[in-house]
Amino acid sequence: MSFKHIAVPVGDRHYVLPQVADMRVEIHAYLSAALYEASDEALWSQAAHAASYPGVTGVYLMPDTHLGFGVPVGGVVVTEGTIIQSGSGYDISCGVLYLRVPGLGAARVREKKVRGDFLREVEKRVATGVGNGRPKHMPRFSSTKAEQVLRHGAQALGVRADVCERVFIPIPDETDVREIERAWDKVVPQLGSVGGGNHFVEMQVDRDDGSVWVMIHCGSRGYGWQVANHYFHEGARLRGLASARREDSWLRADEPLGKAYWAHHNAAANYAVANRHVIADGVREALREVFGVDGEVYYEISHNLVQEETLVLPDGTHKRGFVHRKGATRAFPAGHPDLVGTRWSDTGHPCLIPGSMYTGAAILFPQAGAHATACSVNHGSGRVLGRGAAKRQLEHRQAEIDAEMREVKRSFAGVEIEGIVGNTRTTPLDECGHVYKDLDEVLDVLEGEGIAKVAHRLYPVANIKGMD
């Protein structure tokens, strides 16, 4: 059966896969005609599988969607009474923090040297890569403080709630956050580190007004990975699945293992939120050192997370459900009941969308149409090549891609800036612009469907990549 070719267009950017086979609900996919044609059958088959889990009440595919494991990346699954671990995956609460830098404009970051100086100062204060190494100027944390972070997230660091999607997620007092030894061992050494893969710290400039921003993209590091891995194996045993199928496991929210996973999942989310704010402090120090200006946290948000939220149904009534966003971003528009009493109640909260290290990023605000997607948008532009395939297929183009990064010229409020300065000798082929979909095409889907509106379109001028 070809699930892709059963899907029918119901609008210019909206496809519906009817409820077939073991699916419990139909699937709504928000794709342009070109994005639909470029999607592969494996993605649609995986989405149909995601729609077949017990308790599923809704499945949505964002325009950046591509094949993942268990649940597609760019996939949103709503459940009642069940939790699908693949709905947040291994990097629990991976997400983005944006710093804006008042007093710093395009003209002051025009020269490559000063951007290089900024990168070097950041690297003195922020660890990159998959290991536990800590630069000289990076803060140290006690195990007591680290446990407070797992329990209280960025609140344990004194961060204001209005600059966070969730400053922390409560976990039961009786939860032993040190219980999974391999996870706990990563907490103190890695707090304040970026990690490897697609994680980064990036200076960007707004294309319209020339303002300077810094985007931080990272997650829950080794603690989150070990928590996820532990419960994938435990969930597979409980559900009678072979180890090789552990990523298909699911849990009932009211069963003992479900409660244990939920507590540790949320502790990992708290760690990720705090981690991004620790990194932001290091970046702010680097800004003061190089430019004599300070940055301020604009907003912080996750895009690999399961949370219990209020859903606004078509008839205007409300219902609670578990919303799994795997490579998708929360998007509460103005008036959402869960925003009542916050600074974002009248506007909706910002959505922070990285693209690629070449094509840049965007800040969006949700619109009323977001209710049709369980209040979700994409988390990026979406991959078109996996990491291994990118390295194999693009190896012969390394010099060309390096030149592209070095020589690109863009104008920001009348100031031309040449090149994107990086911390790597050559451009990582598995993260270059050629392995991602076109961000503007993806954003056009959201705007065309009335799901979200672009407020800022930003382009990179300096990038620190987490080294594997």
For range 430-447, the mean pLDDT: 96
How many Cβ atoms sit within 10 Å of the Cβ of residue 112? 16
For range 103-115, the mean pLDDT: 98
| Parallel, antiparallel or unpaired: strands 328-330 and 376-378 | antiparallel
Which residues have CB under 8 Å from 246's CB, separation 6+? 232, 233, 235, 236
With CA atoms as reference, report the closest residue to 227 among 182, 270, 259, 190: 182
pTM: 0.96
- In contact, 410 and 361? CB cutoff 8 Å: no
Which residues have CB under 8 Å from 352's CB, separation 6+? 95, 96, 97, 98, 215, 299, 300, 301, 329, 361, 363
DSSP-derived secondary structure letter, 410: E
DSSP-derived secondary structure letter, 350: -
| Parallel, antiparallel or unpaired: strands 71-79 and 211-218 | unpaired
How many Cβ atoms sit within 10 Å of the Cβ of residue 60? 23
Which residues have CB under 8 Å from 38's CB, separation 6+? 384, 437
pLDDT at 252: 98
**Residues 208-223: pLDDT tens digits?**
999 999 999 999 999 9
User: Is the per-residue pLDDT at 132 higher than 90?
Assistant: no
- Give the residue extent of every domain in the chain: 3-465
With CA atoms as reference, report the closest residue to 455 among 311, 324, 306, 344: 344
For residue 442, give both structure tokens. Answer: 């993806």
292 burial type by CB count under 10 A (0-12 exposed, 13-18 middle, 19+ buried): exposed
E-strand ranges in 56-128 read 56-69, 71-79, 82-84, 95-105
| Residues in the chain, overall count | 468
For residue 106, give both structure tokens. Answer: 């395009």
For residue 75, give both structure tokens. Answer: 């996939």
Mean pLDDT estimate for the chain: 96
Rounded Cα gap, residues 431 and 385, in angstroms: 10
Rounded Cα gap, residues 15 and 344, in angstroms: 31
DSSP-derived secondary structure letter, 40: -
Q: What topology does CATH give the domain 3-465?
A: tRNA-splicing ligase RtcB (3.90.1860)
Report residue 247's pLDDT band, with 50, 70 and 90 as the boundaries: very high
300 burial type by CB count under 10 A (0-12 exposed, 13-18 middle, 19+ buried): buried
For residue 118, give both structure tokens. Answer: 């900024």
Rounded Cα gap, residues 417 and 306, in angstroms: 40
- In contact, 30 and 449? CB cutoff 8 Å: yes
DSSP-derived secondary structure letter, 152: H
Rounded Cα gap, residues 101 and 304, in angstroms: 27
For residue 281, give both structure tokens. Answer: 């402090």
For residue 395, give both structure tokens. Answer: 């190896």
**Residues 291-336: pLDDT tens digits?**
999 999 999 999 999 999 999 888 888 999 999 999 999 999 999 9
By percentage, how much of the chain surpasses pLDDT 90?
93
**Residues 59-87: pLDDT tens digits?**
999 999 999 988 999 999 999 999 999 99
With DSSP H G I counted as helix, E B as strand and the rest as coil, what are the percentages for the chain, rounded to 5? Answer: 35, 30, 35
**Residues 377-412: pLDDT tens digits?**
999 999 999 989 999 999 999 999 999 999 999 999
Rounded Cα gap, residues 187 and 181, in angstroms: 10
Rounded Cα gap, residues 82 and 169, in angstroms: 18
